[in-house]
Amino acid sequence: MSRLDFYHLQTADLDHTLPILLEKAYALDKKIMVKIGTQERVSYINTLLWTYEDASFLPHGAKADGNAELQPIWLTSGDDNPNNATLLFLVDGADYDIAKLADFERTFYIFDGNNPEQLTQAREFWKTAKGSGLECFYWQQNEQGKWQQK
């Protein structure tokens, strides 16, 4: 059964949080797909992952980079999964067909709790996911930025 984890950002933003979560996922030696809300944000996050920290390296690529099947982390605004990822990250309001989440071992739905639109989208996605029988978990940042399961 596929697992769906909701990550409710409150104290840290996506630019800070996504690379940390991707590093942990990459350490599992699994292929990763990151679906991003818009193509413009794909380009932005592509650059972010090259520059977020001098001492870190996350091998990744997007359509413009080519060699999709070789990319450990694939960035896209579409539903394509050319690197055969088993982990899916949904960010920046990106959505995905609930029925197709079963194609992934685990899905990470990251949303900004300070953005009313993303908060509403996350609530609707949660309701749909729970209604379809998915195993859902909810994580929220505390004041120190640490994740707590609710």
Give the model's pLDDT for residue 146. 85
**Tally of domains within the chain:** 1
Given a contact cutoff of 8 angstroms between Cβ atoms, the answer to whether 81 and 74 are in contact is yes
Mean local confidence (pLDDT), 10-28: 94
pTM of the model: 0.94
Tens digits of per-residue pLDDT, 118-127? 999 999 999 9
CB 13 within 8 A of CB 111: no
Please state, in angstroms and rounded to a whole number, the distance separating the CA atoms of residues 90 and 39.
14
Range of the domain at 47: 3-149
pLDDT digits (tens, 9 = 90+) for 50-93: 988 888 889 999 998 989 999 999 999 999 899 999 999 999 99
Mean confidence (pLDDT) of the chain: 93
Quick check: 110 and 9 in contact, CB under 8 A? yes
Here the CATH number for the domain that contains residue 57 is 3.40.50.10110
Strands 135-141 and 73-76: unpaired
What is the DSSP code string of 108-126? EEEEETT-HHHHHHHHHHH
